[in-house]
């Protein structure tokens, strides 16, 4: 494992995982200290990070082609986990914060929606890389994507997990932009989305009872209303966000480590950015955001090295979308730019399921990066090989992949010329 970490190629991206781990543990420790709590969550998060890193290490033993081959099975298994929530006893899947979205195994809990997001990203990557998909018209393309995305979306929404449900809508809208070749299609879909959002906001203000008829729960409606009119709900639904915004203001430019006057529920998860702003101020928050932007740019750099249109290319692209969605939704909720919808910050917020799911995405990206580097070294080697041996050395009437006999050294060269090696790799 130590050699895995010391490898410069791996370390160039693993360094971000270590920085996120350090940041998460420090922020959780500060939150527990500021609220006069024992460091229980700190220790649990530390264990979660050990498990997450172990998963990253294991994923390096698995070829990317094998992950791609089992993608459909992984996707179907994630759906089984989502359906299982409704089949197990209430004691095994209790209602938490109005949502029944967790398996409770006593010593630990699992949120299947987090793993469903990873599986859906992999499944979409497998779909859109196919040439048959690219040759289809816009309606067929969008229907295929809609089918893959809508199944986990409906199941997650049925669990009353609106936050994670919105991820699948966001993923679909992003894919519409990515695969659609007609501006009219884009305009129509996005127009419908804007109309729906406007209807929900206006309905919450003037016709709240009607929204319950379309499945919006009472507490979800009040979250929207408290966001639109925080003063009217200052004693209940707006209380949390009011305290959070007060903490952020307290941080000022350089931050303060003064203990909280009141306990903020879910500060370790939904409002963890407030811990950054309070303890390290505007400067600390700016540095925190900068690190994340550099991380995203690093992922884009890896993506550009992939062959455009293959599985790895789309997997990294959609993983970037996933990280950005969770990161910015969490911050926007904390700053009350949007209503609080219960989205954790990737790698930073407390929580085992979210961290391990994101670690899986991270681990596959690390593997893709290592594979790209290995192929680059192979290409470099065979370029030197071709410069050293000219075409006259190859036996006439022989297959290009057959061993080549060298009259000078009396040795057989079993290496394949670069152009044939590349074509063979693509076939495999």
Q: What is the pLDDT of residues 141-196, one digit of tens each?
A: 888 888 999 999 989 888 877 778 888 888 888 888 887 777 777 777 778 777 77
- Identify the weakest region by mean pLDDT among 3-12, 68-77, 203-212, 398-407: 398-407
Residue 321 DSSP SS3: helix
Q: Are 57 and 1 in contact (CB under 8 A)?
A: yes
* Whole-angstrom distance, CA of residue 63 vs CA of residue 48: 25
- Identify the weakest region by mean pLDDT among 3-17, 251-265, 355-369, 395-409: 395-409
Best-predicted range by mean pLDDT (43-47, 279-283, 339-343): 43-47
Helices 352-388 and 311-334, axial angle in degrees (round to 10):
150
Checking if the pLDDT of 416 tops 70, the result is no
Average pLDDT over residues 106-131: 89
Q: 248-290 pLDDT, tens per residue?
A: 888 888 888 776 666 677 788 888 898 898 889 899 999 999 9
Residue 62 DSSP SS3: coil
Q: What is the 3-state secondary structure (H, E, C) of 278-339?
A: HHHHHHHHHHHHHHHHHHHHHHHHHHHHCCCCCHHHHHHHHHHHHHHHHHHHHHHHHCCCCC
Confidence of residue 216 (pLDDT cuts 50, 70, 90): low
* Whole-angstrom distance, CA of residue 149 vs CA of residue 168: 6
Checking if the pLDDT of 34 tops 60, the result is yes
For residue 257, the model assigns a pLDDT of 74
* Whole-angstrom distance, CA of residue 295 vs CA of residue 357: 18
Residue 264: C-alpha distances to residues 95, 125, 174, 245 (Å): 21, 39, 34, 11
For residue 428, the model assigns a pLDDT of 45
Which has more pLDDT, 400 or 337? 337
Confidence of residue 72 (pLDDT cuts 50, 70, 90): very high
Which has more pLDDT, 120 or 378? 120
* Whole-angstrom distance, CA of residue 428 vs CA of residue 425: 5
Which has more pLDDT, 188 or 352? 352
Checking if the pLDDT of 371 tops 50, the result is yes
For residue 101, the model assigns a pLDDT of 83
For residue 140, the model assigns a pLDDT of 87
Q: Tokens 């289809």 sit at which residue?
A: 136
- Identify the weakest region by mean pLDDT among 254-263, 323-332, 416-425: 416-425
For residue 125, the model assigns a pLDDT of 92
Best-predicted range by mean pLDDT (44-58, 149-163, 402-416): 44-58
Checking if the pLDDT of 349 tops 50, the result is yes
For residue 381, the model assigns a pLDDT of 56
Q: What is the mean pLDDT of the chain?
A: 80
Residue 1 DSSP SS3: coil
Helices 162-179 and 311-334, axial angle in degrees (round to 10):
130
- Identify the weakest region by mean pLDDT among 107-111, 135-139, 293-297, 355-359: 135-139
Cα 274 off chain centre by: 22
Confidence of residue 211 (pLDDT cuts 50, 70, 90): low
- Identify the weakest region by mean pLDDT among 19-23, 139-143, 241-245, 365-369: 241-245
**pLDDT > 90: what percent of the chain?**
32
Average pLDDT over residues 219-243: 67
């Amino acid at each position: 494992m130590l050699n895995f970490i010391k490898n410069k190629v791996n370390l160039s991206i693993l360094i971000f995982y270590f920085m996120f781990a350090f940041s998460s543990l420090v922020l959780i420790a500060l939150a527990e200290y500021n609220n006069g709590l024992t460091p229980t969550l700190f220790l649990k998060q530390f264990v979660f990070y050990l498990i997450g890193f172990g998963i990253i290490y294991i994923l390096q033993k698995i070829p990317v082609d094998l992950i791609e081959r089992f993608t459909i099975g992984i996707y179907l298994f994630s759906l089984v986990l989502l359906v299982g929530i409704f089949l197990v006893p209430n004691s095994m899947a209790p209602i938490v914060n109005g949502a029944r979205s967790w398996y409770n195994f006593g010593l630990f809990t699992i949120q299947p929606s987090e793993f469903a997001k990873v599986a859906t990203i992999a499944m979409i990557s497998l779909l859109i890389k196919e040439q048959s998909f690219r040759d289809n018209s816009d309606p067929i393309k969008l229907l295929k994507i809609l089918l893959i995305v809508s199944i986990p979306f409906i199941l997650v929404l049925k669990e009353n997990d609106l936050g994670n449900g919105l991820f699948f809508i966001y993923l679909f809208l992003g894919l519409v932009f990515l695969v659609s070749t007609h501006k009219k299609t884009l305009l129509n879909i996005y127009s419908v989305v804007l109309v729906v959002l406007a209807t929900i906001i206006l309905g919450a203000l003037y016709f709240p009872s009607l929204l319950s008829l379309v499945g919006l729960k009472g507490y979800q409606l009040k979250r929207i209303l408290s966001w639109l009119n925080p003063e009217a709900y200052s004693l209940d639904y707006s209380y949390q966000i009011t305290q959070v915004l007060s903490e952020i203001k307290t941080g000022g430019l350089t931050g303060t480590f003064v203990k909280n006057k009141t306990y903020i529920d879910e500060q370790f998860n939904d409002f963890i950015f407030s811990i950054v702003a309070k303890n390290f101020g505007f400067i600390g928050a700016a540095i925190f955001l900068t690190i994340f932007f550099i991380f995203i740019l690093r992922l884009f750099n890896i993506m550009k090295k992939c062959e455009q249109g293959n599985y790895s290319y789309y997997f990294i692209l959609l993983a970037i979308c996933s990280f950005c969605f969770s990161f910015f939704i969490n911050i926007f909720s904390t700053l009350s730019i949007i209503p609080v919808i219960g989205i954790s910050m990737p790698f930073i917020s407390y929580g085992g399921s979210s961290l391990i799911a994101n670690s899986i995405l991270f681990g596959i990206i690390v593997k893709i990066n290592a594979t790209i580097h290995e192929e680059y070294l192979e290409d470099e080697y065979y370029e030197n090989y071709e410069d050293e041996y000219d075409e006259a050395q190859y036996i006439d009437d022989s297959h290009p992949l057959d061993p080549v006999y060298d009259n000078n050294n009396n040795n057989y060269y079993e290496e394949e010329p670069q152009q044939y090696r590349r074509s063979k790799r693509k076939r495999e």
